[in-house]
Chains A and B, each alone.
Chain A
Amino acid sequence: MKKTFLGLGFTALLLGFLSTGTLRAVTITTSNLGTLTGSLTTGGTLVNQGVALESSFSLSSAAQLTIFTTSYGGGANANGTTAVKGGFMPSLVLYNGTGNYVAGQVFPSPIGSTDSTTGLVGDAYIRTATLSAGTYIIALSDFLVQQSPTATNLSDGFIDFGSGTTFSDVQGNLRTGNYTLNITGPGNAAAAPEPGTLALIGPAFGGLALWMYRRRNAR
C-alpha cells in the first residue's frame, strides 16, 4: 500500500533548513510484521531515496525492545544470518499505534559494524523502555528523510532533504537502497546501565562538608 505525503505546514522553517532547500515528496510504504514473539529480521530494497517504510507490529505483553539495522555496515542479524554491507544510512523512529512518538535512534549505533569501504558506522539503533502491550509502528528511511521539527504525529508525514533518487551517506558516499531491520523481542534484551555520575564528583562533597564543619566550629 502506498501513499504520498508532503509536509506543508513547515514551509517557513524549511526555506533555510539545508542549503539545497528543495522540498520533495516522500512516498510511504506500509507493511505489517504481525505479532512479535522473540525476534525478527526483515529486509528489502527501497525503490528510491524518497521513500519511508512504516512497518507495524504488535506486542501481546509488555516488553523492552532493541531495534537495529545491519545493512549499512553489515554484520549479525537477530535471526542468525549475516547482513551484507552497502545499504543506505538509515533513520529509525518508533511510534505507537496512534502515531505518537515513542523512541528515536541512538547515534552511532553501539552495536553497528564499520563499513570497511567508507570507514563509518552508519547503522541505526533504538533501545526502548519497557513498552506496554499493543500496536507499534517502526519508521525506516534514508537519514535525509525526516519528520519536520514541527511534526506532532506520524500522520504529519515526512520531508525529504535528499536527492529523491540516489542514496548517499553523510559523507557523500554512494549507497544502495537495501535495508535489513532487526527487532529483538520479549526476553532477548539486556538492561542498559546508567553511569554513576555521583562517583565522579564525590570528593567535592567531602571538601564542602569539611569546610562547613570548620566554619560552624569557628563560630
Chain B
Amino acid sequence: MKTKNLLPEILSATPNRRSLLKTLGIASSAAGVAIATSGKMEAQSTSLTVVDVLQFALNLEYLEAEFYTVATMGQTIDQVGIGITGSGNGGPTTGGNQVNFSNNLVFTGQVAMEIGQDERAHVKLLRDALSAAGVMPVAKPAINLGALGIGFANVVQFLTLARVFEDIGVSAYGGAAALPFVANSPYIGTAARILAAEAEHVGNIRLQVARLNIATTTLDGVDIIPPPSGQKFISVDATTGLSVVRTPGQVLYLAYGNAANATSGGFFPNGVNGNINTSSSSA
C-alpha cells in the first residue's frame, strides 16, 4: 500500500466519518470548512487552515500540560519555564493541586511525571512550529482545572480525570489529522507522532484505571470506557481496529462542560483562543 493512499482508506474506515464531514462542512474545497452552530451549517467568516488546527491543538495541550504539571509538581507551566503568551486572551490557571501519589504499585506518580513532561514538550513543539511558520501562537487561555470538581484529591480522582483528557486528546488529534488541509500539510508527520504519544498515554492510564478498579462513565456516544465500568482495556473500535475520533466541535463540547454551540465553559471559562472556538453537539 502506498502512503498517499492511506488517508482515504482510514477515512472510509472511520466509523463516524459522515458526521465528521457534516459537522465540519467539508465539501469539495479543502478550505471550505464550516462549524455547526444551532444545528445549522454556518460558514465562518474566514476559511480555516492548518494553522487554525495547530492553534486549536495548542489550547488543548495547554490544558493537558497544566493538569499534569499542577498534579505532579504543584506548579503551573509558566512557573516551570513554558511560554504561555501570544495572541488572543491570556488567563490564569485555577483549581488543582499536587496529588498524593504515594501508591507506587502501578507507578501512577512516575507515569504522571513522564506524561507531564511530554505534554509540556507538546506545548513547546506547537508554539515553536507556529513561530517557525511566522505565526504568533495563541496565548494560554484561562483554565479551570477544577471544572469537574475532581482530579486532585487522590490517585483515584487523578486517574479518572487523566483518562478523560487522554481519550479526548487521542480522538482530537485523530479527528484533526483527518482534515484534508492537515493531511496534505508537512505537519501530518509530526501530528502522527503526537497522536502516537497521546495514544501511549491513554493506554497506560486506562490500564491503571482498570487495575485500581476505578469506576468511569461514558463522556458521549463514542467514548469507550475501560474496566471495571467498561469492557475494553484499549479505547479502539473492535470492528475497525481504529481509535475513536472527534471533531473539534465535539471536543469543545466536552471541554466546555457538555455545552453545545458554546464558546466558553468548563475547563475554559473564557473560551479557547483561535478561530476554532465553538462547540458542536456531542459525538
Highest count of chain A CB atoms <10 Å: which of B129, B185, B187: B129
A101 and B125 contact, CB distance less than 8 A = no
In the complex, A45 has a CB within 8 A of chain B: no
Interface size class of B (residues with CB under 8 A): 35 or more
Q: Which residue of A lies closest to B104 (CB)?
A: A91
Assuming A15-B213, A197-B125, is B103 touching A151 (CB within 8 A)?
A: yes
The contact of B103 among A148, A209, A210, by CB within 8 Å, is A148
**Residues of the A chain whose Cβ atoms lie less than 8 Å from the Cβ of B105:** 91, 143-144, 146, 161
In the complex, A46 has a CB within 8 A of chain B: no
Describe A's contact surface by its main secondary structure: mixed
B187 and A146 contact, CB distance less than 8 A = no
B100 and A100 contact, CB distance less than 8 A = yes
**Residues of the A chain whose Cβ atoms lie less than 8 Å from the Cβ of B212:** 13, 17, 149
**Residues of the A chain whose Cβ atoms lie less than 8 Å from the Cβ of B107:** 107
Using an 8 Å CB-CB cutoff, how does the interface string of A103-130 with B read, 1 for contact, 0 for none?
Answer: 0111100000000000000000000010
Using an 8 Å CB-CB cutoff, how does the interface string of B86-103 with A read, 1 for contact, 0 for none?
Answer: 000000000000111111
Q: Which residue of B lies closest to A161 (CB)?
A: B105
Highest count of chain B CB atoms <10 Å: which of A92, A95, A143, A149: A149
Give bound CA distance, A206 to B107, whole Å: 37
B125 and A16 contact, CB distance less than 8 A = no
A211 and B186 contact, CB distance less than 8 A = yes
Give bound CA distance, A208 to B182, whole Å: 11
Give bound CA distance, A153 to B128, whole Å: 40
In the complex, B10 has a CB within 8 A of chain A: no
B128 and A198 contact, CB distance less than 8 A = yes
In the complex, B121 has a CB within 8 A of chain A: yes
For residue B155, give the distance in angstroms from its CB to the closest CB of chain A: 4
B186 and A146 contact, CB distance less than 8 A = no
**Residues of the B chain whose Cβ atoms lie less than 8 Å from the Cβ of A210:** 186
For residue A99, give the distance in angstroms from its CB to the closest CB of chain B: 9
The contact of A208 among B73, B98, B155, B187, by CB within 8 Å, is B187
B155 and A149 contact, CB distance less than 8 A = yes
Q: Which residues of A contact B (CB under 8 A)?
A: 13-17, 91-93, 95, 100-101, 104-107, 129, 139, 143-144, 146-154, 161, 194-195, 197-198, 201, 204-213
Closest 7 CB pairs of A and B: A207-B186, A197-B121, A149-B155, A104-B109, A147-B102, A101-B100, A204-B190
- Chosen A-B contacts, 24 in total, with CB atoms closer than 8 Å, are A13-B156, A13-B212, A17-B213, A93-B104, A100-B100, A101-B99, A101-B101, A107-B110, A139-B102, A149-B103, A149-B155, A150-B154, A151-B154, A151-B155, A161-B105, A197-B121, A197-B125, A205-B129, A206-B132, A208-B133, A208-B185, A208-B186, A211-B185, A212-B134
